[in-house]
Structure formats: C-alpha cells, structure tokens
Structure 1
Amino acid sequence: MRSGWGAPDTSPTRLLLLRHGQTPLSVERRFAGRGDIPLTAQGRVQAEAVARRLAARTIDAVVSSPLERTLRTADFAAKALGLPVEIEDGFVETDFGDWEGMTFAEARIHAPEAVDRWVSDPEVGPPGGESFAAVARRVCAARDALVSRHRGRTVLVVTHVTPIKVLVQQALTAPLSALYRMHLDTAALTEVDVYADGPMVMRSFNDTAHLA
C-alpha cells in the first residue's frame, strides 16, 4: 500500500480490530495459536462488556477468525449489533508449532537456539510453525479481500494478537520487528482506517476503556 498524507479519494474503510476475550492460556501467558481454546468466565464478561460498548456505534459487518475464542467473542458483539458473523481464515492466529501451550520461558528451555532465531528474525518461525513474515502476507491478503467486500464501511474484525499487530505495523509502515515491541490486552480494541488510494492510518491502539 502507498504511504503518505495525500488527500484520500474516498471515505476510508474503518477496521475495528478486537482481540478475543481472556482464555486459560492468556492468563498464564502461554503460546496460543491454532488450538481451539475456550473463553474463561472472565473472558465472557469481557466479551459482553465490549459488545455493550460497540452497540452504541454504527458497524456494518462483523468478521471473525475461525477459532472458538474469537467466534465466541464475535457472537456477543454480533448479537448486540444484530449482524451475522462472517468467517475469514486469513485472520487466524500464528501457528506456534511445537511451542503451542508453552510459556516463553518453557520454549527457551526446550529450544534456546530456536527461540533466539525467532526473536531476531521475523522470517523464522517456531519449529513446525509459522513465521511472522508469513502471517503478515496472509493478513495482508485477508485485509485486501475484506476491504474489497466492504469498501467505505465500518467492520468489526475479531481476531488475535499477531494479526492486529501486523495491521498496525502495516499502517505505520514500520518494520516487522516492531511486532516484538507491541502489547495487546485481551478484549482490547484497535482502530485502523484503510483508504482506497493506499494509505492506512492508525486511530487508536489497545483501548480497554470498556473493561474499567
């Protein structure tokens, strides 16, 4: 996408990026990739809280990653908005391969050299998993497909940490290594505008006012 501050030729497509609610693995700060992990009771409370907040906004579509934790979070918002949930596989979380379910410390004990390579190079994935560079490519394709379907509309995208970080990284035209310098809370909202003529603009990041 083109960068810069030139005047857009149309209204942007606004992406409301919502990380799913709390899960047992997020409580323990464990790698949670493709596993179908349920929300905790607190995660459901978080999903209800963000749904109440979103109900006051004009939202045209709800899109979700196919995993249970995102679908259940999306269900609360979709019900509040009176909208169906569209599934988009491209917004699924990173495949963490052999590290699924581990903490970072456990992964380092298990495979210290692999962890060092992973944290220093976005083109390197966990053993048996997916690199952040590969995630970025599929998230970019999913974003373009979504914008093509919903150009000029406001879309709630219920997804995971890495896809949200990737969309922020793309909006800021930052290097992929910036993903290692972002923190996202469960059930946090991030807003990104995508303009038809190219630029993306981040409007907010890691907004948890609804959880206060």
Structure 2
Amino acid sequence: MDQAPTTLVLVRHGVTDHTTGKRFSGGLAGADPGLSEEGRQQVRSVGEWLAPTADRIDAIVTSPVRRTRESAEILGSMLGREVAEEPGFAEMDFGAWDGLTFEEVAEQHREDLEAWYGSVDAAPGGTGESLRTVEERVLAARDRCLTEHAGRTVVLVSHVTPIKTLLAHTLEAPLQSLYRMELAPASVSVLSHWPAQDERGPWAAVRLLNALPPDRAWLGEPPRW
C-alpha cells in the first residue's frame, strides 16, 4: 500500500434542541432544526482541535441538512476551506417518528418500533428509510467522495446513522451493529481508504473513533491519522 490513502475525518454535527430533548431527528424531510448555541460551541471546539492539521485538510464535505451545513460552515471558516454538499450523507428519514422521543414512539408506534429493531429492512414511521436503504446511499456517496478526493484528506460532516454506517462497513460488521454503537455530538472519527486491492473494493482502516476535543474529554493534542 505505497499509494497515499484517502482519509475521511468524520465529524458529527453539534447538538440541536432535538438532540438535547432526545428526539428523533431525520434528514431534509423532517423538522430540520438548526444548531443550538451549545452545539455551535461544540463545533468550534472541534475546529480549534483540527486547526493544527488544517494544512493537511483538502476539502470539507457536508450533508445538506441544516445542522450539518451549519456545523460545516463553522469548520470551513476556522480551517479556511470551502464547503461542498453531498446529499448521500444526509441523516435517515424517520417518517412519522421525526420530532418524537423514544418513549412517544414506543407509545404511538409500538409495532413499527419492534419491526425496526428486528430488521434492517424495516422503515421507521411507515414512510421513513430502512437502515438498508440508508446504507446503499451512504456507501454510494462515500465512493463518489473517494473518487473525487483520491489521495487527499476530507472533513466529512454528517449524522449518527451515516457515520455509524461507514464505521460498520469499514469494520466489516453487520448492519445491526449500528444499534450497539455510541457516537457523541461533535465527535470525530477517522477512516483511511487505500485503492482497491481485490474484488471487495477499497481497503480501509479505522484510525480514530468517537473522539472528543480536549475541552470535552481527555485528549490533549491534535488528532492523529
């Protein structure tokens, strides 16, 4: 693997009122809340943490959803990079669950919830996206990103489900593993992809997982990848 990898620095957006209220918050078809002031400060902390590596960052790509776009614009202004949108990295559509808490979904949509936990092909809220559908569009978006930015480092601002999907696929873990992952708001995970070595596609490795800037965790130096 003597060729330079394409590195994706995965940043989850900062918190919104839905995040702190523990409400399902989907993609463009949902309520589309913006960042709270706490969320903006979380993203600024990520920008300060990434700043020493800014000369190694070639591009910023974001989901078009409001909270991710706002997060990406903050990072773009701090890192001196333009922001490009990729719709394939939007959060999953939760259908009728959007804006509801888990308890409200359990009360109002019990059968849908049980079906969703039982199958990656079940669509939440009746009209939402299944995890399988999200996986297909996220991996297609990843492939477009790897082609466009081959051999470079990209900050990718996205959501819980798409980022977990990328992590699960890199680890060759089943899609159900998304239910067992925790991903904090404004956390940073890093994946590196090398050109295809066999029929399975690009070889990839997880370099960092669910890391937080030093003012929110134990880290005291810039992220390494």
Q: Same fold (TM over 0.5)?
A: yes
2 CA distance for matches of 1:125 and 1:211?
A: 38
The residue aligned with 1:50 is 46
| TM-superposed deviation, 1:9 | 5.0
2 CA distance for matches of 1:170 and 1:56?
A: 29
Could you tell me which of 97, 102, 105 is aligned with 1:104? Answer: 102
Residue type at the aligned position of 2:90? V
Could you tell me which of 72, 83, 102 is aligned with 2:81? Answer: 83
The residue aligned with 1:160 is 159
Could you tell me which of 119, 122, 129 is aligned with 2:120? Answer: 122
| TM-superposed deviation, 1:103 | 1.1
1 CA distance for matches of 2:114 and 2:101?
A: 15
Asked whether the 8 Å contact 1:55–1:77 carries over to 2, the reply is no
2 CA distance for matches of 1:99 and 1:211?
A: 34
Q: How many residues matched?
A: 205
Residue type at the aligned position of 2:129? E
2 CA distance for matches of 1:10 and 1:104?
A: 45
The residue aligned with 1:12 is 5
Matches within 5 A, 1:1-212: 8=1, 10-34=3-27, 35-57=31-53, 58-126=56-124, 127-197=126-196, 198-212=202-216
2 CA distance for matches of 1:172 and 1:211?
A: 29
SS of equivalent residue, structure 2 residue 52? coil
Asked whether the 8 Å contact 1:50–1:210 carries over to 2, the reply is no
Residue type at the aligned position of 1:190? S
1:17-36 CA deviation, whole Å, 9 max, x = no partner?
A: 00000100000111000232
- Which has the higher mean CA deviation after the structures are superposed, 31-40 or 91-100? 31-40
- Which has the higher mean CA deviation after the structures are superposed, 54-63 or 91-100? 54-63
Asked whether the 8 Å contact 2:48–2:78 carries over to 1, the reply is yes
- Unaligned 5+ runs, structure 1: 1-7
- Unaligned 5+ runs, structure 2: 197-201, 217-225
Q: Percent identity among equivalent residues?
A: 40
| Pairwise CA RMSD | 1.0
Asked whether the 8 Å contact 1:14–1:194 carries over to 2, the reply is yes
1:20-58 CA deviation, whole Å, 9 max, x = no partner?
A: 001000001110002321111100111111111111112
Structure scoring higher RCO (CA < 8 A, sep ≥ 6) equals: 1
Asked whether the 8 Å contact 2:8–2:155 carries over to 1, the reply is yes
